[in-house]
Structures are given as C-alpha cells and as structure tokens.
C-alpha cells in the first residue's frame, strides 16, 4: 500500500506527546495502522519526548519504592485475561480487512454489521461515540461512483480512506490516505466506480453544504 496523503505534523506531534484527545487520536492511530511513514515520524517525535524526559531533574522516590515494585511484579497479572482478549481479537482480525484494530473497538469488525444510516444520494454514515466533545467521529460509506454533496468546513476535517477510493477533482485518495483540510477548502468527494468508498471522518465543527437540500436535512442527519 502506498500512502500519499498524511495528517499534518501538529497532529502527529500531539499524539506522540500524549496530549491529543480521544476523537483525534482515533483518526491518527487508525492512519498509523496503515502508514509506515507516519509510524516512523511518531517514533522520531517520541524520541523528542524521551530526550526532554531524560533531561528532567529527578524527584526523590519513597524509601520503600523498590521493595514495593518488586513485590508487585511477583503478583499474577491480568496477562492471562488479556492474552485471551488478544486471541479473540486475532480471530476477528483475520476477517476484518477494512478496519484497523483500534477502530474495531469502536465500530466492530464487519463493514456490513455497521448500522449505516442513509444521508441521501447513496451516501451512508454511522456516528461513532467518543467521550471528548472537541470533535465528532463518523464512518462514511459512499456507494461506488456516488458523490458527497459539495461542502465547505467551519473547522478542520480529517478523512481517512479505509477501503475504495475517492477523488475531489484535484487529488485521488486511496486506502490509507488521510485528507487533512481546514475551513478554506470547499470540496465534493466522488467515490470511484469500482467499489464503495469507506472512510473515517473527524470534524471539529459542522460542515457547510453548498446546496439547499442537504442543508435542510442537516439538523436531522447530524453532519
């Protein structure tokens, strides 16, 4: 898989620093599952953290800290239980060819089991529940050859292609690609004709449709 479009560095740096909230982290972690290049970038960014961390002045530990930790590591851990979870995940992973594992925890393994809701024009969405309110996550399924109505953005929008591909007149976005756009862009993504295009979309503000019909529908469909 050749990934040509990546999130901007600010997101990768926040993720590596541990200061990125849940919804945005979901998108970054999903992209990382598909992008070797950004995994390298994260490793490099984490090295910054490691260097700054190494440079901190020490804080005195309690006198029994070592004994306490050594006693703890002898305790049976939750490893057995988590090994089972790992096995269960491994079984499922064999059949989930679309969703990275980090995303499976939110939407399940199978594209056809997702409770898709039509938003018109053979475009479907599924809202993903996350705890942080800084942004909203959704899966989008655009039927082969169909188009998401032309829209602009009041804020930032991340679109990670999970399967199929779409083009917006300028660029082609295929599996693994992440389009990272701000309010300046107005676009009209069209799925390629061969297969449905499935994407993970994160928005930090409602998007603005240019055409009147979707605009009327907007309050009902929650975009």
Partner 1 sequence: MPLSENDLLGRVGLTQDRESFAKLFVALGPRVKAYMMKIGSDPAFSEEIMQETFITVWRKAGQFDPKKASAVTWIFTIARNRRIDRLRKEKRPALDPNDPMLLPNDSPTPLQNMEQSTIVESVKRSIGDLPEDQREVVRLSFIEGLSHQEISDAIGIPLGTVKSRLRLSFEKLRHTLGDFQ
Residue numbers at the binding site for partner 1 (CB under 8 A): 1, 8-10, 13-14, 16-22, 25-26, 29-30, 32-34, 36-37, 39-40, 42-54, 56-62, 65-66, 68-70, 72-73, 77, 79, 86, 90, 93-94, 100-103, 105-106, 130-132
Rounded to the nearest whole angstrom, what is the least distance from the CB of residue 95 to partner 1 in the complex?
A: 11
Question: Which residue lies nearer to partner 1 by CB, 90 or 211?
Answer: 90
The per-type count for the chain, helices as H runs and strands as E runs, is 7, 11
Instruction: Please count the CA atoms within 13 angstroms of the CA of 137 that sit on its side-chain side.
Output: 20
> Cα–Cα distance between 92 and 111 in angstroms, integer?
13
Do residues 110 and 97 make contact, with C-beta atoms less than 8 angstroms apart?
A: no
Q: How far is CA 98 from the centre of its chain?
A: 13
Question: Which residue lies nearer to partner 1 by CB, 131 or 170?
Answer: 131
Do residues 135 and 23 make contact, with C-beta atoms less than 8 angstroms apart?
A: yes
Question: Which residue lies nearer to partner 1 by CB, 56 or 170?
Answer: 56
Rounded to the nearest whole angstrom, what is the least distance from the CB of residue 91 to partner 1 in the complex?
A: 11
Structure tokens at 180: 């990272």
Question: Which residue lies nearer to partner 1 by CB, 71 or 213?
Answer: 71
Greatest pairwise CA separation for the chain in angstroms:
69
Rounded to the nearest whole angstrom, what is the least distance from the CB of residue 196 to partner 1 in the complex?
A: 19
Rounded to the nearest whole angstrom, what is the least distance from the CB of residue 156 to partner 1 in the complex?
A: 11
């Amino acid at each position: 898989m050749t990934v040509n479009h990546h999130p901007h560095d600010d997101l990768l740096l926040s993720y590596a620093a541990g200061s990125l909230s849940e919804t945005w982290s979901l998108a970054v972690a999903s992209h990382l599952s598909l992008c070797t290049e950004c995994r390298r970038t994260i490793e490099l960014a984490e090295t910054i953290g490691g260097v700054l961390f190494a440079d901190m002045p020490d804080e005195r530990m309690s006198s029994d800290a070592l004994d306490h930790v050594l006693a703890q590591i002898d305790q049976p851990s939750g490893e057995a239980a988590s090994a089972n979870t790992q096995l269960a995940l491994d079984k499922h992973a064999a059949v989930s060819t679309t969703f990275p594992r980090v995303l499976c925890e939110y939407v399940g393994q199978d594209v056809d089991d997702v409770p898709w809701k039509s938003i018109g024009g053979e475009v479907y969405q599924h809202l993903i529940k996350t705890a942080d309110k800084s942004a909203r996550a959704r899966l989008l399924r655009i039927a082969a050859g169909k188009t998401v109505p032309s829209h602009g953005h009041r804020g930032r929008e991340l679109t990670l292609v999970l399967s199929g591909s779409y083009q917006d007149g300028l660029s082609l976005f295929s599996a693994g690609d992440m389009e990272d756009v701000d309010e300046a862009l107005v676009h009209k993504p069209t799925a390629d004709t061969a297969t449905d295009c499935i994407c993970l979309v994160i928005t930090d503000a409602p998007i603005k449709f240019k055409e009147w019909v979707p605009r009327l529908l907007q309050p009902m469909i929650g975009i």
